[in-house]
């Protein structure tokens, strides 16, 4: 149980909370927690709290949007006392949560239009109920297809180095009774070549104005493989993931994770001591490799012809 905003910041940093929409929602509630700690109404304090959240995960745009929205709400309405400030912030955080739930439902319905009965889908990382405020983005499409009786099979990449696909996506799909096969990330090309994949669907942490997309490391090579094998590649994301202040993917700040996540994953030493490690948490998939963007407002064209 988290009862302090600093604990929320730490939970985001250490991936106890992950998935761009979920990070934004939890950060919003964390901002509300911070206001509850007010001794007096203090804009400077909330600016300090906001900076701590901004620095917790630098790539996911939902985090910044949620924190900015919470600040704007508080500063624009200037509540008269601590109690009214706290009530205002809790209500706004709840609104962000509810809106995300509705966006997930719409993304699921829109994305399901692209999927036929019996199709096999490859997904990467975790984009379901554990990563959002609702049924999910990419997994939301899969759940909606299930509800429509389309009987799709899913391949889930393990998602190195912290195995969100193996630990979360595979578990979540099994809980939902959806047929899922877990693969190592580097097996994707082989099963595509075997003709076993009809669609690739992933989520997004930030999408630049030109459509370049930041998502979990390993997404870009999947897009390259998909275009080589003539498989549609979809990005399922809410409109809040589109950041028009950033022109291209080259401007997206890519978070780097601790070396220990690779060298000592889950407490097991699997590399030489003091080995040099490069561990970006995300990569950038150029728009020209993306077939469609699936949003709550409809299906938007990517750059693939």
Residue-level pLDDT at 192: 98
Q: Is 59 found in the same domain as 18?
A: yes
Domain count, the chain: 2
Structural domain span for residue 168: 108-301
Last residue of a domain, one of 105, 136, 168: 105
Closest to 89 (Cα-Cα) out of 37, 134, 17:
37
Last residue of a domain, one of 105, 127, 153: 105
Q: Write phi, then psi, for 181 (nearest 5 degrees).
A: -120, 125
Q: Is 181 found in the same domain as 274?
A: yes
Closest to 109 (Cα-Cα) out of 142, 155, 132:
142
- The CA distance from 137 to 131, in Å, is 9
Q: Is 259 found in the same domain as 147?
A: yes
Residue-level pLDDT at 41: 66
Q: Is 45 found in the same domain as 94?
A: yes
Residue from 42, 100, 185, 205 carrying the catalytic annotation: 205
CATH number reported for the structural domain that contains residue 18 in this entry: 1.20.120.420
- The CA distance from 29 to 140, in Å, is 23
Residues 6+ apart with CB under 8 A from 99: 133
Residue-level pLDDT at 58: 86
Specify which residues 236 forms β-bridges with.
Answer: 294
CATH number reported for the structural domain that contains residue 257 in this entry: 3.40.50.10470
- The CA distance from 73 to 85, in Å, is 10
Q: Is 116 found in the same domain as 101?
A: no
Q: Is 206 found in the same domain as 93?
A: no
Burial of 230 (0-12, 13-18, 19+ CB in 10 A): exposed
Instruction: Match 């561990």 to its residue by tokens.
Output: 279
Is 42 in the active site?
no
pTM value is 0.91
Q: Is 191 found in the same domain as 225?
A: yes
Residue-level pLDDT at 86: 86
Q: Is 139 found in the same domain as 279?
A: yes
Q: Is 98 found in the same domain as 146?
A: no
- The CA distance from 23 to 56, in Å, is 10
Instruction: Match 């099963």 to its residue by tokens.
Output: 191
Residue-level pLDDT at 43: 80
pLDDT tens-place values along the chain, 305 residues long: 777 889 999 999 988 888 889 999 999 999 999 988 776 667 888 899 999 999 998 888 899 999 999 999 988 887 777 888 889 999 999 999 999 999 999 999 999 999 999 999 999 999 999 999 999 999 999 999 999 999 999 999 999 999 999 999 999 999 999 999 999 999 999 999 999 999 999 999 999 999 999 999 999 999 999 999 999 999 999 999 999 999 999 999 999 999 999 999 888 999 999 999 999 999 999 999 999 999 999 999 999 96
Q: Is 119 found in the same domain as 67?
A: no
Residue-level pLDDT at 139: 98
Task: Confirm if 152 and 119 have CB atoms less than 8 A apart.
Answer: yes
Q: Is 265 found in the same domain as 123?
A: yes
Last residue of a domain, one of 105, 122, 155: 105
Q: Is 100 found in the same domain as 170?
A: no
- The CA distance from 218 to 44, in Å, is 40
């Amino acid at each position: 149980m988290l009862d302090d905003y600093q604990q929320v910041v730490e939970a985001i940093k250490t991936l106890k909370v992950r998935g761009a929409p979920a990070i934004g929602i939890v950060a919003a509630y964390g901002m509300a927690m911070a206001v509850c700690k007010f001794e007096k109404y203090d804009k400077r304090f909330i600016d300090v709290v906001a900076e701590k959240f901004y620095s917790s995960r630098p790539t996911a745009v939902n985090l910044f949007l949620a924190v900015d929205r919470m600040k704007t709400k508080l500063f624009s309405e200037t509540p008269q006392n601590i109690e009214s400030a706290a009530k205002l912030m809790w209500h706004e955080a709840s609104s962000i949560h509810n809106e995300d739930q509705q966006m997930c439902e719409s993304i699921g319905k829109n994305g399901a239009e692209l999927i036929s009965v019996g199709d096999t889908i490859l997904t990467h990382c975790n984009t379901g109920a554990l990563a959002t405020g609702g049924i999910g983005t990419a997994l939301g499409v899969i759940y909606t297809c299930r509800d429509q009786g389309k009987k799709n099979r899913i391949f889930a990449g393990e998602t190195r180095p912290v195995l969100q696909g193996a630990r979360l996506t595979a578990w979540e799909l099994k809980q939902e009774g959806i047929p899922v096969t877990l693969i190592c990330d580097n097996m994707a090309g082989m099963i595509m070549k075997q003709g076993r994949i009809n669609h690739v669907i992933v989520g997004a942490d930030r999408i630049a104005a030109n459509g370049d997309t930041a998502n979990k490391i390993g997404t870009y090579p999947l897009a390259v493989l998909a275009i080589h094998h003539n498989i549609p590649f979809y990005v399922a994301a809410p409109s809040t993931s589109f950041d028009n202040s950033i022109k291209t993917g080259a401007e997206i700040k890519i978070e780097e994770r601790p070396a220990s996540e690779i060298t000592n994953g889950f407490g097991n030493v699997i590399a030489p001591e003091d080995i040099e490690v490069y561990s970006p948490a995300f990569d950038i998939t150029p728009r020209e490799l993306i077939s469609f963007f699936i949003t709550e407002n409809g299906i938007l064209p990517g750059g693939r012809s």
